């Protein structure tokens, strides 16, 4: 989030919703002729100082917390309240945040981070290396149950962390990793004050451009500008959050002028056209922001057989899925989870080949294969993707029965339980994080339960390689292995269509997070 992919958010949908007060009526019935794109005024216009941005977000669990390390963290608040040591820049490369610089030893076995001076938390305390070390220990603490622990625990011994002075953090690794700083860009890695584990979920005290005024799990909240922010104060005076259960209700609130931005909402095409045609709202299009997957459980027949998995991939045409399910607003995935914008992305892939798919199925004793493919209304693209796959795979003699499951229990009753289903993730994960979290043997987020010792060993080799060119080559081999052997079909990368008010200025998003410092509203 996806997440980055926010599994804590999506696994439990709470009933408690904060009312915005008015009856929301759909306005602006005229439809645009084509998929809308972000207008120049929303992206480049200079905002006026001050004002309150109103954000509608989906409801979360009533156990939602402001602890960034938690699987139930209130994602929309995190980038406003906190900073990381390292972040992903707009160009996809690593950028400085609370760490001004970082360097490894000659084997990439020990990393030294030089931290910013003059940074304060919202309670006035100075940020030091002790806070950075404490944050890592908090993530690694089993009691925290952080999703990022599975990625960092094999690498870091919490007792080995060193803080030789208030502005230096030294991280010795259990095994060399040339990509280690990229793993600290995950949203679970926002820095919290030393000793704050028991209170951070309520207080939200960080070093970010906004500080907490109020917060209710699965409900409303408000944050206000932190004028002493180290990078300067934000444009806005405040951001107000409203929890709205239904996507149509969120869209109608936007059209009625009651909110300014729809967070964590990928508009369906029909709604996007209505929004783009309205006087009050428009649509921002974030390229390849989400990648969609049809995971096959490799522990369940018939997907235990690699020939069946290969046949399922060769049987369908990803470009057909993009055309039908996305109406062109995205890119074909060709079963590679690494987005085309990533520096290590490889474009090579097997071609769509229904005849070869038939041959492989016959070899596997699965001629005339029939499978159930589960989907739901949880995401507006799940069912169109499933139906497009069904129609395309029919040429290979595969009969796909699309079954619709309940949206509110989809990620507790279907995900990682049914042999074949639809899901999605947010792009923006560094490649080592992506492969380790979603494809490595034993990961709790390995949704296909794929276990391949050769793949795991290849990741270990890539991590140890300090030459960038050779390391990128190894990650290219890892992509080929996922395509050839893995259980994940990746038909498409979808552009995310975000509903925003025409009053919004300075909207700039990458990695499923917008610029909290620069976003604002049009002046009077």
* Domain 288-495, CATH among 2.40.160.20, 3.90.180.10, 3.10.105.10, 3.20.130.10: 3.10.105.10
Model pLDDT, residue 167:
98
Q: Which two tokens stand for residue 421?
A: 């289903």
Q: Which pLDDT value is given to residue 60?
A: 76
Query: Is residue 370 packed enough to be buried (19+ CB in 10 Å), middle (13-18) or exposed (0-12)?
Result: exposed
CA 86 to chain centre: 17
CA torsion 203-207-210-214 (nearest 10°) is 0
Cα separation values, 490 from 8, 292, 422, 501, Å: 22, 6, 10, 32
Q: Tell me the two tokens of residue 222.
A: 């408000």
Task: Classify 274 as helix, strand or coil.
Answer: helix
Query: Has domain 37-81+208-280+502-521 been given CATH number 3.40.190.10?
Result: yes
Helix (H, G, I), strand (E, B) or coil at 286: strand
Confidence at residue 214, expressed as pLDDT on a 0 to 100 scale: 98
For residue 266, what pLDDT is reported?
A: 77
Contact predicate 503/519, CB 8 Å: no
Q: What span, in angstroms and rounded, lies between the C-alpha atoms of 224 and 275?
A: 28
For the ranges 403-407, 417-421, 481-485, the lowest mean pLDDT is seen at 403-407
Peptide bond into 302 cis (omega under 30): yes
Tell me the mean pLDDT in the region 477-500.
Answer: 95
Measured in whole angstroms, the distance separating CA 146 from the mean position of its chain's CA atoms is 16
Q: What is the pLDDT of residue 42?
A: 55
Place of tokens 């005076």: 237
DSSP 116: P
Report yes or no: 69 and 146 within 8 Å, Cβ to Cβ: yes
As a whole number, mean pLDDT of residues 158-176 equals 97
Cα 27 to Cα 13: distance, rounded to the nearest angstrom = 27
Mean pLDDT, rounded, of the chain: 89
Question: Which residues neighbour 303 within 8 Å (Cβ) at sequence distance 6 or greater?
Answer: 296, 297, 309, 312, 419, 420, 487
Average pLDDT for 151-173: 97
pLDDT for 34 beyond 50: no
* pLDDT of residue 272 exceeding 70: yes
Q: How many helices (H) and strands (E) does the chain have?
A: 17, 21
Tens-digit pLDDT profile for residues 218-241:
899 999 999 999 999 999 999 999
Longest dimension (CA), the chain: 70
Cis (ω within 30 of 0) for the bond into 417?
A: no
Beta strands in 377-452 (DSSP E): 399-405, 423-426
How far is the first Cα of the chain from the last one, in angstroms, to the nearest whole number?
A: 34
pLDDT tens track for 443-453: 888 999 999 99
pLDDT of 23 over the 50 cut? no
Residues 6+ apart with CB under 8 A from 143: none
Alpha helices (runs of H) in 57-175, residue ranges in sequence order: 75-81, 129-140, 149-152
SS3 48: strand
**How large is the average pLDDT for residues 64-68?**
96
What confidence tens digit (pLDDT) does each residue in 297-349 have? Answer: 999 999 999 999 999 999 999 999 999 999 888 999 999 999 998 889 999 99
Q: Is the pLDDT of residue 350 over 90?
A: yes
Q: Which helix (H) or strand (E) holds 53?
A: strand 52-57
Please state whether 145 falls in left (phi above 0), alpha (psi between -120 and 50) or beta: left
pLDDT of residue 511: 62
Please tell me the predicted confidence (pLDDT) of residue 48: 93
Q: Where are the alpha helices (DSSP H) in 165-268?
A: 180-183, 200-203, 247-255
Specify the higher pLDDT residue, 130 or 267: 130
* DSSP secondary structure code for residue 172 in this structure: E
Beta bridge partners of 513: 510
Distance of alpha carbon 159 from alpha carbon 241, whole angstroms: 39
Domain ranges of the chain: 37-81+208-280+502-521, 86-193, 288-495
CA distance 81 to 79: 6
Contact call for residues 242 and 219 (beta carbons, < 8 A):
no
CB 190 within 8 A of CB 68: yes
pLDDT category at 262 given cuts 50, 70, 90 is very high
pLDDT above 90 as % of the chain = 74
Please check whether residue 148 is in contact with residue 156, taking contact to mean a CB–CB distance below 8 angstroms.
Answer: no
Task: Calculate the dihedral angle through the C-alpha atoms of 172, 173, 178, 181, rounding to the nearest 10 degrees.
Answer: -70
pLDDT digits (tens, 9 = 90+) for 351-360: 999 999 999 9
Q: Are strands 399-405 and 370-376 parallel, antiparallel or unpaired?
A: parallel
Q: Where are the alpha helices (DSSP H) in 141-239?
A: 149-152, 180-183, 200-203
Q: Is pLDDT of 5 > 90?
A: no
Residue 45 has pLDDT above 80, yes or no: no
Q: Which CATH architecture has domain 86-193?
A: Alpha-Beta Complex (3.90)
| C-alpha closest to that of 276 among 295, 249, 255 | 255
């Amino acid at each position: 989030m996806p997440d980055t992919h926010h599994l804590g958010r999506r696994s439990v949908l709470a009933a408690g919703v904060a009312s915005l007060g008015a009856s929301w009526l759909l306005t602006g019935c005229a439809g645009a002729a084509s998929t809308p794109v972000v207008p120049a005024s929303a992206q480049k216009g200079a905002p006026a100082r001050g004002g309150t941005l109103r954000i509608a977000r989906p409801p979360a669990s009533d156990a939602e917390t402001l602890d960034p390390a938690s699987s139930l963290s209130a994602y929309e608040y995190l980038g406003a309240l906190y900073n990381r040591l390292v972040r992903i820049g707009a160009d996809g490369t690593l950028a400085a945040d609370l760490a001004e610089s970082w360097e490894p030893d000659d084997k990439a076995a020990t990393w030294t981070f030089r931290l910013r001076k003059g940074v304060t938390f919202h309670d006035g305390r100075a940020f030091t290396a002790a806070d950075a070390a404490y944050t890592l220990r908090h993530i690694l603490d089993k009691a925290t149950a952080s999703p990022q622990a599975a990625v960092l625990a094999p690498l870091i011994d919490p007792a080995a962390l060193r803080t030789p002075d208030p502005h230096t953090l030294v991280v010795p690794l259990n095994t060399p990793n040339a990509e280690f700083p990229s793993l600290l860009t995950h949203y679970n890695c926002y820095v919290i004050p030393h000793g704050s584990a028991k209170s951070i979920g309520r207080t939200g005290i960080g070093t970010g451009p906004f500080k907490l005024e109020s917060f209710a799990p699965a409900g409303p909240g408000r944050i206000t500008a932190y004028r002493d922010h180290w990078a300067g104060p934000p444009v806005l005076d405040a951001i107000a959050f409203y929890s709205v259960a239904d996507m149509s209700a969120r869209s109608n609130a936007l059209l009625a002028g009651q909110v300014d931005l729809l967070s964590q909402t990928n508009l369906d095409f029909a709604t996007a056209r209505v929004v783009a045609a309205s006087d009050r709202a428009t649509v921002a299009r974030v390229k390849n922001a989400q990648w969609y997957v049809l995971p096959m459980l490799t522990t369940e027949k018939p997907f235990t057989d690699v020939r069946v998995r290969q046949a399922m991939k060769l049987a369908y045409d990803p470009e057909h899925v993009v055309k039908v399910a996305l109406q062109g607003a995205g890119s074909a995935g060709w079963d590679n989870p690494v987005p085309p914008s990533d520096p290590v992305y490889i474009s090579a892939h097997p071609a769509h080949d229904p005849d070869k798919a038939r041959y492989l199925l016959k070899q596997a004793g699965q001629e005339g294969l029939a499978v159930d493919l589960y989907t739901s209304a949880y995401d507006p693209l799940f069912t169109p993707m499933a139906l497009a796959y069904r129609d395309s795979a029919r040429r290979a003699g595969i009969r796909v029965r699309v079954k619709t499951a309940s949206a509110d229990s989809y990620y507790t009753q279907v995900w990682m339980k049914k042999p074949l289903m639809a899901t999605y993730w947010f792009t923006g994960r560094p490649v080592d994080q992506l492969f380790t979290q979603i494809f490595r043997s034993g990961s709790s987020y390995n949704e296909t339960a794929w276990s391949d010792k050769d793949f795991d060993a290849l990741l270990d080799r890539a991590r140890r390689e300090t030459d960038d060119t050779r390391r990128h080559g190894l990650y290219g081999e890892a992509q080929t292995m996922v395509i050839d052997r893995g259980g994940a079909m990746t038909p498409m990368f979808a552009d995310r269509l975000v509903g925003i008010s025409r009053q919004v200025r300075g909207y700039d998003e990458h990695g499923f997070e917008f610029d909290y410092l620069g976003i604002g509203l049009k002046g009077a």
